[in-house]
Amino acid sequence: MKVINIGICGLGTVGYGSFSVLRNNSKEIARRVGAEVRVSHIGARRLRPGQDIGNVRKSSDVFAVVNDPDVHIVLELMGGTDAAKALVLQAIANGKHVVTANKALIAQHGSEIFAAAATRNVLVAYEASVAGGIPIIKAIREGLAGNRIQWLAGIINGTGNFILTEMREKGRAFAEVLKEAQELGYAEADPTFDIEGIDAAHKLTILAAIAFGIPLQFSKTYTEGISRLTQEDIRYADELGYRIKHLGISRKTPAGIELRVHPTLLAADSIIANVNGVMNAVMVNGDAVGSTLYYGAGAGAGPTASAVVADIIDVARMISHPESGVPSLAFRDDALSDAPILPMSDVVSAYYLRISAADRPGVLADITEILGDRGISIQAIIQKEPRGGDAEHRRVPVIILTREIREAVMDEAIARIEALDAVSERVMRIRVFKLDQ
Ligand code: HSE
């Protein structure tokens, strides 16, 4: 199998996160790409405590990675602009493809970098530069390509949203929450980028460019931060039925394109107003599709690495199979798995049961015995007071919420319950699905 070598420049939160995803998911990635994708060289001054790179070659000079003839794809994950720009241009000059998470670099120097890449016929991919793990670049550039985009608006800085959420929900102080965001690896090296809206402005610049087909124009983006917001503003907004969110907004108007980042009042029942913590969300409105919404973690090692690795896979597919591109079913045909599809009887779920039972002694005990005998644990039970009718024909609804059990066992229990004299109707069964499992 062909091998594609990755060189990582910068081993901070995102760098080590990307290294870990490439290592942990290497088999799955090879099935998608049709080649082995492996990290062959890392450029970092030093390893942080807990970082384990096995026997991968390490250089303290990141340019050693860029100049390594064996490296096919360079990951620029150092942040900052000057050194990062020099590194990326060198990688391009050396004929290497580049994947970066650096929004400041793309927003400020993207045009020059893309022009250089075009002359060398290499790719520069930057999905991770906006909204962490949300594939928003791909969605706008490819998924919505048939639309005239009218506007987009979003929470595109996780640190700022984390701060506003903690201030509103827990009454915590601004500075204390910012410190926590730094410890969690969400904040930029210079956290004023997060709280003064500069980071969001970098991201908005990129989104507007690909949405409206305009050059990258960071310097024209209106930018206002959240550092002047107080608990009082948050409480008054609440009283008025609003939430304060730090939004990036870009809208096409007959007079021109709006590019603005500022604290914004949003109706409390709108979807974006309820996006909390480090989560990001971007709404994009196109003339054909209407409004669409993209939601996910906007910062942190795993989510950002998810986007970095997706870009690596895109580039690696192009290197390994330029003639066939993205496989129709995402994985190479010869790498499809024969994992069995579970029959419904083997699915494990919790259940809501509504049983219409005769109003007589012992019925509830019969039902719970049937469940208990089969190891079906009851999580909650409601029996409503019977209403109307004569005592003999009166029915009482019994509602039971069970814990998880295999469907075949529940089928059998339901059949036994329906066979009871006291139960005359079919049992209503609704499966419970926990979204966080
Ligand atoms: N500092 C950024 C944020 C990291 O908080 O959203 C992801 O770009």
Q: How far is the CA of 186 from the centre of ligand 1 (A)?
A: 5
* CA 207 – ligand 1 centroid, Å: 15
pLDDT of residue 35: 97
**Does pLDDT of 382 surpass 60?**
yes
Ligand 1 centre distance from Cα of residue 181 (Å): 10
pLDDT digits (tens, 9 = 90+) for 100-127: 999 999 999 999 999 999 999 999 999 9
CA atoms within 13 A on the CB side of 400: 28
pLDDT band for position 384 (cuts 50, 70, 90): confident
Question: 3-133+301-335, which class in CATH?
Answer: alpha beta
Specify the pLDDT at position 137: 98
Tell me the DSSP string of 299-356. SSHHHHHHHHHHHHHHHHHHHH-TTT-S-TTSS-GGG---PPPPPGGG-EEEEEEEEE
pLDDT the model gives residue 394: 86
- Is pLDDT above 60 for 196? yes
CATH fold, domain 347-431, is: Alpha-Beta Plaits (3.30.70)
Q: What is the pLDDT of residue 388?
A: 67
Q: Work out the pLDDT band at 385, boundaries 50, 70, 90.
A: confident
Dist CA 351 CA 426 (whole Å): 15
Q: Taking 70 as the threshold, does the pLDDT of residue 357 lie above it?
A: yes
CA-CA-CA-CA dihedral for 194, 200, 203, 207, to nearest 10: 170
pLDDT at 260 over 70: yes
Q: What is the pLDDT of residues 11-63, one digit of tens each?
A: 999 999 999 999 999 999 999 999 999 999 999 999 999 999 999 999 999 99
Q: Give the pLDDT mean for 323-350.
A: 94
Mean pLDDT of the chain: 96
List residues near ligand 1 (CB under 6 A): 132, 157-159, 186-188, 194, 199, 298-299
Q: Residue 434: is its pLDDT beyond 90?
A: no
Q: Which of 277, 279, 308, 261 has the alpha carbon at shortest distance from 78?
A: 308
Look-up: residue for tokens 């910062």?
A: 299
**Residues with catalytic function:** 203
- The ligand 1 atom nearest the CA atom of 186: 5
- What pTM did the predictor assign? 0.92
The CATH superfamily of 136-296 is: Dihydrodipicolinate Reductase; domain 2 (3.30.360.10)
Angle between helices 13-24 and 26-33 (to 10 degrees): 70
* Closest approach atom of ligand 1 to CA 203: 8
Q: Which of 193, 194, 245 for a ligand 1 pocket mutation test, highest count of atoms within 8 Å of Cβ?
A: 194
Could you check whether 3-133+301-335 and 136-296 share the same CATH topology? no
CA 136/CA 143 separation, integer angstroms = 9
Task: Parse the chain into domains and list their residue ranges.
Answer: 3-133+301-335, 136-296, 347-431
Ligand 1 centroid–CA 301 distance in Å is 11
Is 193 strand, coil or helix? helix
